[in-house]
Amino acid sequence: MVAEGILMNKIPFTKMNGAGNDFIVFDNRDGILDNLDLKAFVKKICDRRFSLGADGVLVLENSKIADFSMRYFNSDGSEAEMCGNGARCIARFAYLKGVAKEKMIFETKAGLYEAEVVEDRVRVKFPDVDLSKIQLDQSYKFSEELEKYHFATVGVPHTVFYVDDFSNLTHEKIVELGRKVRYCTEIFPKGANVNFVKVIDENTIAVRTYERGVEDETYACGTGAVSCAIVSTLLGKVKPPVVVKVLGGTLKVHFKIEGQKTTEIFLEGDARVVAEGYILPDGWSW
């Protein structure tokens, strides 16, 4: 009887990751999530101890103007305009569920995105980025170590800091420094994601990212990879296409700089389905 009761409100999910940035994905075309307080629900199910655990949640919904619409929630329940790795994962999910063909177009709060799925790899085309949205060589004393920064909005806000090597940047240090920047509301009233970049060669950078809304370092950040690749190119440190090495793997960013715009921006990498199942009320209703 008890088991039956528990199973009554089960919600189907798919667990995915792109370069280790992991998500719980829901198909909400039939409104299965509509009666839930989504912020609270997301926060609960992203808990890695008491529930399934993830960096964020992707919700696929119907769209009147595209193949589908994507909503993205960080693990703290906050809804963000865009998620690059999430976009790659939801594109593969949509393809596998028959919602879209290999080539698709979908809505996000940051605009329309295109994607192409080739087996377990997904390439997402971003809207052009106006160079006026990119601030190079800014200065603010966030801490003894962090002063010179660059800023780009690529769907969501990203700060970029260059480091000579990562050997002293432990995970704890990334979190400590990341929080100093992320919560500096004087400069970033809505907060910002914080990227630490090491230039490896003229086509390769390594990036570690502290993510707003996860409030931790993640294994990869797609919009962060795009921001760092564009900023590094504008500063003359690399040339596109840029290979971005992250903790969870490798991403590739293609783009062109044309006049005042960055055009033809593509983010490419793996998008894997690791599990499918049901979330039970015990997983979110405590």
Ligand X SMILES: N[C@@H](CCC[C@H](N)C(=O)O)C(=O)O
Q: Which residues of 241-263 are buried (b: 16+ CB within 10 A; e: fewer)?
A: ebbbbbbbbbbbbbbeeeeeebe
Among 61, 72, 143, 128, smallest CA distance to 97 is for: 61
Q: Is 213 in the site for ligand X (CB under 6 A)?
A: yes
Interaction mask 84-113, ligand X, x per CB under 6 A? xxx---------------------------
Among 72, 89, 91, smallest CA distance to 81 is for: 72
228 a catalytic residue: no
In the complex with ligand X, the residue whose CB is nearer, 21 or 69, is 21
Distance of alpha carbon 95 from alpha carbon 117, whole angstroms: 7
Residue 244, beta-bridge partner list:
205, 251
Q: Is 221 in the site for ligand X (CB under 6 A)?
A: yes
Q: Is 227 in the site for ligand X (CB under 6 A)?
A: no
User: Which of positions 126-155 make contact with ligand X (CB under 6 A)?
Assistant: none
- Nearest distance from residue 142's CB to ligand X, in Å? 18
Among residues 46, 58, 94, 156, which is the contact residue for ligand X, using CB under 6 A? 156
Among residues 17, 28, 159, 223, which is the contact residue for ligand X, using CB under 6 A? 223
- Nearest distance from residue 8's CB to ligand X, in Å? 33
- Nearest distance from residue 84's CB to ligand X, in Å? 3
Among 85, 45, 133, smallest CA distance to 251 is for: 85
Name, in order, each residue with C-beta under 8 angstroms of 165's C-beta and a sequence gap of 6 or more: 198
Q: Is 222 in the site for ligand X (CB under 6 A)?
A: yes
Stretch that binds ligand X, among 128-136, 167-175, 221-229, 241-249 (CB under 6 A): 221-229
Burial degree of 164 (CB within 10 A; 0-12, 13-18, 19+): exposed
**Helices marked H in 157-260:** 171-182, 222-234
Among residues 80, 122, 230, 253, which is the contact residue for ligand X, using CB under 6 A? 80
74 is in an annotated binding site: yes
Contacts with ligand X: how many residues (CB under 6 A)? 16
Among 273, 279, 285, smallest CA distance to 90 is for: 273
Out of 83, 89, 184, 228, the active site residue is 83
Q: Is 211 in the site for ligand X (CB under 6 A)?
A: yes
Stretch that binds ligand X, among 76-84, 101-109, 126-134, 164-172 (CB under 6 A): 76-84
Structure tokens at 184: 């500096």
Among 101, 128, 105, smallest CA distance to 115 is for: 105
Among residues 14, 28, 74, 262, which is the contact residue for ligand X, using CB under 6 A? 74
Structure tokens at 106: 């979908």
Structure tokens at 125: 């085309």
203 is in an annotated binding site: no
Among residues 212, 246, 255, 262, which is the contact residue for ligand X, using CB under 6 A? 212
Structure tokens at 229: 């690749």
Positions touching ligand X (CB under 6 A) are 21, 74, 80, 83-86, 156, 193, 211-214, 221-223
Catalytic residues: 83, 221
